[in-house]
Amino acid sequence: ILNVEQSPQSLHVQEGDSTNFTCSFPSSNFYALHWYRWETAKSPEALFVMTLNGDEKKKGRISATLNTKEGYSYLYIKGSQPEDSATYLCASLKGSTLGRLYFGRGTQLTVWP
Partner 1 sequence: DTGVSQDPRHKITKRGQNVTFRCDPISEHNRLYWYRQTLGQGPEFLTYFQNEAQLEKSRLLSDRFSAERPKGSFSTLEIQRTEQGDSAMYLCASSRVGVGAFFGQGTRLTVV
Q: Find the shortest distance in angstroms from Cβ 103 to partner 1.
A: 4
Q: Find the shortest distance in angstroms from Cβ 70 to partner 1.
A: 22
Site string for partner 1, 14-33 (x = CB under 8 A): --------------------
Alpha carbon distances (Å) from 3 to 12, 47, 91, 92, 105: 25, 21, 10, 9, 10
> What is residue 55's three-state secondary structure?
coil
Under the binding rule (CB under 8 A), the answer on residue 6 touching partner 1 is: yes
Of 46, 95, 52, 55, the residue nearest 74 (C-alpha): 55
Under the binding rule (CB under 8 A), the answer on residue 63 touching partner 1 is: no
As a whole number of Å, the CA-based R_g of the chain is 14
Q: Find the shortest distance in angstroms from Cβ 45 to partner 1.
A: 8
In sequence order, the β-bridge partners of residue 38 are 87
Of 71, 55, 85, the residue nearest 22 (C-alpha): 71
Under the binding rule (CB under 8 A), the answer on residue 59 touching partner 1 is: no
Q: Find the shortest distance in angstroms from Cβ 9 to partner 1.
A: 9
Binding residues vs partner 1 (CB under 8 A): 6, 34, 36, 42-46, 48-49, 89, 91, 97, 99-106
